Structure 1
């Protein structure tokens, strides 16, 4: 945990450091250009100084934004403060547009008015060359840090200073062309400086427009369609996920937030659901590293899930026991029959309402079923305390073993227990049957044995027979 926090603090410190260096460099170059423009009388140099002044404002805005954006989330900003960087990038793009408009305006003024006489010297040239070197260093440093940290404000700042290089080159070219025109008597060259400034400014405006669209997209939670598709494809590839029903991805500064709704099989356990959520989170973070992922899950039926599974799932949700479940087909129509055990003290009206609601739920879960018939059985509401254990009632034991001989599949009957509770008798035993006997036949044999015993001993109220395979019976 400590290493992760330290890493975040290191990233924030690096962003603040490079933003501060950028602001100091912008302040120094603005002062030098103003001095060079006054000394030379060049409107181009002065307009470039004004451009650098806007750079200084943008660099200061970037420095403040990266300090605010790295603050942790709080009650008023649950998604953090990352949007501050996007707002800063938007404002800085506006400053770039203003600076381009300034340069174009100054260029047109120079074309239509010739009231300013340039005083040629090496001083403004040295200042402009130095400015190009500083802007190149700043843009590279900012771009590298922006790439590592994902900061939109630093990326915009890097783009801004890169565009300054072209503007400064235009001014430098204009000064050179103006000097050449004066030296060699070529009047047309006096328009080279403003013309180059207009062309470069239009190029910067075009790039600024694209940058502004990206910033507005980030502010309005727009993400590339390819990113969303890759997230969906990656999560749907997680084994156990039926579908991605909804996905939302938004960006706040350098941080991403993803909100997904996943369809999972309705019989998935809580433990398995947790494993699938962890796997899906890792899948999202493979596409959008370090994203804050929130996943909602909804149960859905799979095509492979049988009617029996869906009926039992409904019973489990209603906390009741279902047995002797069968599905019958007659003239292309399906009917479900089931035995449901309810509290023996429940009133008939309440039991009927409960079963009706459960049957309607089954019809919704299994729309191919046309009707449901439920046999209601009572489940003892309290733990019975037998009055006595009948261990010497030979008549019931003899009757059970005689009934067992009527079924050739029964190998033996053992662990016989007879209990008398209040006014009724309950019997339980274990019955050994062949290993490969189908469960359908097992059910028929056990049911037949119960029926024969009750005919011989009508006082027996309940018979519980536990079937065992021969290989497991070591008696």
Structure 2
């Protein structure tokens, strides 16, 4: 069991570290090309990747800290560090979007900036899409395997970059067409419009991520799980009733408390065996859940009368 836990933590850290390396390379490449071409779309993507780098560093740190075992001050472990990391990443992305929108509006209505569309501009975006696709798959796989919201948030950033990079490429194509066909001058604004679309995509995804992080921090129960657990436990032979079902997560670790009523004639060893069966039943719904079962004697028919 301990060996499996160590292996899982090492796998999560390796995924998070590879995300950091990828974000460093992409951010540097985009900044250089964005400055040299003057493309707001690429600079917006560079800012996005820069925040992805900060988010990746936060994720790496969060994964390391969340794996620490419970102690006297943190009885449920340190898993919520992952949820805090995901929420902070959301705030960073939203702040960046404000800057992108402001700069795009300035270029559309108040300030003209000449953009030089070169092969490097298309190359950096193509490389970005390739790296983002590879990293998002690795991170999503690790996030699903270990139920890690921090890794899922990081994967979401990289997968969002695929779409936003594609939009920037379309904007660059529009600028290039405007150079070749002066009658299509409106396409000169395609880069700024692409930057606005990037910002809208990031805002939409960030709000979803932020909502999930807040729900996790507020100990919101997974939808439908409480009812499903109650019904499953009540089907266990010997359980008269199941109530007061509570579920909370500490990062990827679920904790479940349930109260059950058992037949009053059951002796202690039988009740103990029954609670172990209830634990196994719950863990079929929530693997690796830390389950606490509170058995209580059901009222006898005579006492009800």
Indicate the TM-score class for this superposition, using the shorter chain for normalisation: over 0.9
| Aligned: 1:31 with 2:7 | no
Which residue number in structure 2 is paired with residue 331 of structure 1?
A: none
| Aligned: 1:138 with 2:107 | no
Contact 1:47 1:106 in 2 (8 A): no
Output the CA distance in 1 between the equivalents of 2:158 and 2:139. 9
Which of residues 284, 290, 293 is equivalent to 2:291? 293
| Aligned: 1:272 with 2:270 | yes
Question: 1:164, CA displacement in angstroms?
Answer: 1.2
Which residue number in structure 2 is paired with residue 231 of structure 1?
A: 229
Which of residues 125, 149, 154 is equivalent to 1:152? 149
Alignment of 1:277-356 (within 5 A): 277-303=275-301, 307=302
Q: Higher relative contact order at CA 8 Å, sep ≥6: structure 1 or structure 2?
A: 2
Output the CA distance in 2 between the equivalents of 1:92 and 1:55. 8
C-alpha distance after superposition, 1:156-194 (max 9, x if no partner): 110111111222222221111011111111111122222
SS in 2 for 1:294: strand
Relative to structure 1, the CA distance from residue 267 to residue 111 in structure 2 (aligned partners, 3 Å threshold; closer, same or farther) is: same
Which residue number in structure 1 is paired with residue 244 of structure 2?
A: 246
Q: TM-score scaled to structure 1, two decimals?
A: 0.62
Which residue number in structure 2 is paired with residue 112 of structure 1?
A: 109
Output the CA distance in 1 between the equivalents of 2:212 and 2:116. 43
Output the CA distance in 1 between the equivalents of 2:304 and 2:167. 74
Output the CA distance in 2 between the equivalents of 1:203 and 1:123. 24
Contact 2:117 2:175 in 1 (8 A): no
Which residue number in structure 1 is paired with residue 159 of structure 2?
A: 162
Question: 1:302, CA displacement in angstroms?
Answer: 4.1
Which residue number in structure 2 is paired with residue 16 of structure 1?
A: 13
Tell me how large the CA RMSD over aligned residues is. Answer: 1.4
Question: 1:224, CA displacement in angstroms?
Answer: 2.5
Relative to structure 1, the CA distance from residue 95 to residue 81 in structure 2 (aligned partners, 3 Å threshold; closer, same or farther) is: same
C-alpha distance after superposition, 1:279-331 (max 9, x if no partner): 1001110111110001111112244xxx4xxxxxxxxxxxxxxxxxxxxxxxx
SS in 1 for 2:239: coil
SS in 2 for 1:225: coil
Flag the structure with larger Rg: 1
Question: 1:106, CA displacement in angstroms?
Answer: 2.4
Relative to structure 1, the CA distance from residue 76 to residue 189 in structure 2 (aligned partners, 3 Å threshold; closer, same or farther) is: same
4+ long deviations beyond 4 Å:
none
Alignment of 1:422-461 (within 5 A): none
Contact 1:262 1:296 in 2 (8 A): yes
